[in-house]
Homo-oligomer: A and B are copies of this chain.
């Protein structure tokens, strides 16, 4: 352990070549004689040489680093996206640096600065609020940026990859209504985040249109424990609804925790549609019916887009990619007889013109 760091000069000296040749061997940017290559590589591995990115980047102006910024790494949705990115980036010869904003705009700004100081070749960001951070918007004019998930469309700042949130909300609402549910709670995280607003509002609209009833919208925040507390407080003061539709995997956990604490059975007493499709949702006796976002595909689309931009520049106008979420039906949504149908049944000997679904319990 004599010298502090092994540099390209140590290698070139040992191999008896110039530093430039060593550089060319490692970067592969210029052809090098086979024999020399071998000598250089041997010397390098003998010394444990690893090129210094700082120096390389400084001189060349190029870098193979892409940055990823997400609101929360402990949220499986984001963790999965990051993991997939990293694999894709690595396959294309890029290294990924990751930062988490812990859902706080101030932290987001600071993490963003930290990432930008690396002068990455590109960046994929899931903003923590609706506002694209100023620094990011500015940077997006020179550096490729792809915005994912938490974005209000249309977005003029950068390319985006999102799901069709209105459709997701409507599909879930329809499923609930078709199963006879009328008194429905929509568990939002924060309505100020536009994808959430879209999911929830579109579900509410559908419910109102189909049943004439107003859904109850509850904001449970982006943290499980906080959301559990809020929902518990609400439940203490209200009747158990027919069904709950979660708008986020975190709200899903909050709602389920509360029901567990209150020993409210799913789907016997209340139906539930979860958001996102995590492993634990399958690991239960009554599997959760859930809106599944195509996480991997989202990550892939974002990476494709970023790679394209890194190759072709940011001069052409931003593109918005919208993917579709699907409903995975398992067993957390039960069949209810809606009041109107039940009244009709009691009032007349003939079956009322209720939906086929609502008839089922009579068989």
Determine the distance from Cα of A55 to Cα of B60 in the docked complex, in whole angstroms.
12
Interface string of A248-287 (1 = CB under 8 A from B): 0000110011011001011000000000001110111101
Q: Is the CB of A260 within 8 A of B280?
A: no
Task: Decide yes or no whether A17 CB sits under 8 A from chain B.
Answer: no
What are the residues of chain B within 8 A of A263 when measuring CB–CB?
285
* CB <8 Å contact, B53 and A118: yes
A sample of 21 inter-chain contacts (CB < 8 A) reads A4-B61, A48-B138, A50-B113, A52-B58, A53-B117, A53-B118, A54-B57, A54-B63, A54-B118, A58-B58, A73-B73, A73-B82, A83-B100, A86-B100, A87-B102, A96-B99, A97-B98, A253-B283, A256-B284, A257-B283, A263-B285
Identical chains in the assembly: 2
Q: Write the A121-142 contact mask toward B (1 if CB under 8 angstroms, else 0).
A: 0000000000000010010011
Closest Cβ of chain B to A117, distance in Å, is 5
Query: A interface, how many residues as a size bin?
Result: 35 or more
Are B284 and A260 in touch, CB under 8 angstroms?
Answer: yes
Cα of A199 to Cα of B4 in the assembled complex, Å: 41
Query: Is A352 among interface residues, defined by CB-CB distance under 8 A?
Result: no
Identify A284's interface contact among B51, B57, B141, B284, CB under 8 A.
B284
User: How many angstroms between the C-alpha atoms of A180 and B83 in the bound complex?
Assistant: 42
